Amino acid sequence: MNRRNFLTYAALLGGSAAAQGCTTLQAVNRQSLSHHNLQSRELQAEAIILGGGLGGCAAALACCRNGLSVIMTEETDWIGGQVSQQGVPPDEHRWIETHGAPQSYRDYRNRVRDYYNHNYPLTEAARTRENLNPGDGSVSRICHEPRVAVSVLTDMLSPFLSTGKLRILLNHKVKSSNVDGDRVVSVEIENLQTGDRKVLTGDSFVDATECGDLLPLTGTEYITGTESKHDTKELHAPEKADPMNNQAFTVCFAMDYQPGRDNVQDPPKEYDFWRQYVPKMTPPWPGRLLDLSYTDPRTLSPKKLGFDPDGKDLDGVLNLWNYRRIINRHNFVEDTYDGDITIVNWPQNDFFPGNLIDVSEKEFHRNVEKAKQLSHSLFYWLQTEAPRPDGGTGWRGLRLRGDMMGTEDGMAKYPYIRESRRIRAEFTVLEEHVGAENRRLVSGDVKGKRAAEFFDSVGIGYYHIDLHPSSGGNNYVDFSSLPFQIPLGALLPQRITNLLPANKNIGTTHITNGCYRLHPVEWSIGEAVGQLIVFAKKTKVPFRAVRERSELLSDFQQMLHRQGVETEWP
């Protein structure tokens, strides 16, 4: 197959994703476009960013801050990705308040706290807390509402929207590309509400989509699923590779509790199926999925969970209500909220019977709808059958809070994606670089206290390696990692010269994706990518040359440092 046919074929393989909600941008009337007025549907900028998640927003900020023009697209009507449209409070490391992420990410976190201080009736105790956590969720030091994330990110981008340096196209998805040799010339995007299409041309292209959608459309070589132990020599890799074996995705939802109210409606259409569903996993799942027990990620033995919407301590058992709570009513003056509000992103609504990567558009939508049915079924089960600490069953006062998610059905606008297509990169991060046990085996560091040091580091991050059950039937893979660096080589495709990844699509493996996929790391990747585009343009060199030439790399790393990026751990 020649190069042109390969690119055409690759474009046909591109996955698609559901988008919901109403756009805030004026739609172009399809009938107004004519063949002789093609120019009206062409837009140009120095950097084209596909995807408005945390990586996309960070890349846009870095480019605009340094004077470049940017067009950023987003499939839904909310920017922010996993922290907003997907409804996932930030998963972060314990040092995040002082170091371990770019200054721009810490600015975002500070602005979230300022937003609550300026706009919400906080109690005096909450207002004077050094590091306010609006929800006091146990998963994060800054559990907050998805729509607050959208507001804060929009505020951060507003100066560049005002000056025209930045244009954001909501409810738009990339559909095709024009590639000349090893260079992307343009991409075509579609308005998901009207069907209208636009062509975006630029010098540099950033794939910040949640699934790595631009990779197959441009013929950029990529990997999916699990690599084999033979391929990567990783301690926790399986014996056999499986490109279709990806981590579960989740359709999250928000809910609160109204004591004394009966909010129960008809059961979801697939409730009977999910009520009886027992995951087929290796090692085995302990029983039904809709139950207050699951497989302990570390030991793979059965583990008990608890649930009480009053937020009570349950004698050492994790109360799921408090886990991703985004509003703790006690942080606000009395009667501001009837009760707490929590996000449901639990083991019980992880969807692993189907896949979203490299499947047809029809199958993508079908699996998302099935995942919504699972989440609706979990909610109904909590209302009617979940065991209560007092011996009863169900909490009929539970209520879906679609207003928190910006939807009518109560579900998040977009599924929480844990695993994407990953570029075949100049350098691939392996478990031996960041996994604590594997590191001890391959390095002179007998205690395994330091991750590999990368000469081309463009950022740092930390999270334990956390792989959720997969579409191939693997149970949790969860083990210790080490505070790590982000190598520039993992951001460089092996062949395509003007495309960069800025989400979960960098040069990691299935295993190391488990610690490089979280909120501050995605932001760090986007920040580095944005600054790389600026640096390469100013020095008039290809992206790859920055890594290959030591003097350029040194200058680039100094630029990163000046703009608040840490490239080494203390």
Same domain, 362 and 295: yes
Domain of 546, in residue numbers? 3-15+40-226+420-562
Same domain, 389 and 429: no
Same domain, 464 and 392: no
- On whether residue 390 sits in a domain, the answer given is yes
Domain boundary among 405, 429, 454: 405
Same domain, 254 and 222: no
State the pLDDT at residue 446. 63
Same domain, 177 and 295: no
Q: Contact, 386 vs 308, CB < 8 A?
A: no
Q: Give the contacts of 224 (CB within 8 A, at least 6 positions apart).
A: 243, 244, 246, 357, 358, 421, 422
pLDDT digits (tens, 9 = 90+) for 20-63: 233 322 222 332 333 334 444 999 999 999 999 999 999 999 99
pLDDT digits (tens, 9 = 90+) for 457-471: 999 999 999 999 999
Same domain, 214 and 292: no
Q: Give the contacts of 442 (CB within 8 A, at least 6 positions apart).
A: 432
Mean pLDDT taken over the chain: 92
Q: What is the CATH number of the domain that holds 155?
A: 3.50.50.60
- On whether residue 414 sits in a domain, the answer given is no
pLDDT per residue rounded down to tens, the chain (570 residues): 433 333 333 333 333 333 323 332 222 233 233 333 444 499 999 999 999 999 999 999 999 999 999 999 999 999 999 999 999 999 999 999 999 999 999 999 999 999 999 999 999 999 999 999 999 999 999 999 999 999 999 999 999 999 999 999 999 999 999 999 999 999 999 999 999 999 999 999 999 999 999 999 999 999 999 999 999 999 999 999 999 999 999 999 999 999 999 999 999 999 999 999 999 999 999 999 999 999 999 999 999 999 999 998 898 899 999 999 999 999 999 999 999 999 999 999 999 999 999 999 999 999 999 999 999 999 999 999 999 999 999 999 999 999 999 999 999 999 999 999 999 999 999 999 999 999 998 877 666 688 999 999 999 999 999 999 999 999 999 999 999 999 999 999 999 999 999 999 999 999 999 999 999 999 999 999 999 999 999 999 999 999 999 999 999 999 999 999 999 999
State the pLDDT at residue 37. 42
Same domain, 204 and 265: no
State the pLDDT at residue 442. 86
Q: How many domains does one find in the chain?
A: 2
Same domain, 322 and 463: no
State the pLDDT at residue 177. 97
State the pLDDT at residue 199. 98
- On whether residue 343 sits in a domain, the answer given is yes
- On whether residue 234 sits in a domain, the answer given is no
Q: What is the DSSP track for 523-534?
A: HHHHHHHHHHHH
What's the count of helices (H) and strands (E) in the chain, helices before strands? 17, 23
Which among 73, 156, 55 has a CA at the least distance from the CA of 520? 55
Q: Contact, 139 vs 91, CB < 8 A?
A: yes
- On whether residue 132 sits in a domain, the answer given is yes
- On whether residue 567 sits in a domain, the answer given is no
What tokens were used for 331?
């942080």
Which among 547, 275, 308, 269 has a CA at the least distance from the CA of 409? 269
* Burial label, 502 (beta-carbon count in 10 A; 0-12, 13-18, 19+): buried
Same domain, 395 and 438: no
State the pLDDT at residue 22. 30
State the pLDDT at residue 78. 98
Domain boundary among 379, 405, 431: 405
Q: Note the pTM of the prediction, 2 decimals.
A: 0.92
- On whether residue 411 sits in a domain, the answer given is no
Same domain, 150 and 284: no
State the pLDDT at residue 443. 79
Domain boundary among 380, 405, 430: 405
State the pLDDT at residue 448. 66
Same domain, 455 and 541: yes
Same domain, 342 and 258: yes
Would you put residue 80 in left (φ > 0), alpha (ψ -120 to 50) or beta?
Answer: left
Secondary structure percentages of the chain, helix, strand, coil, to 5: 35, 20, 50
- On whether residue 244 sits in a domain, the answer given is no
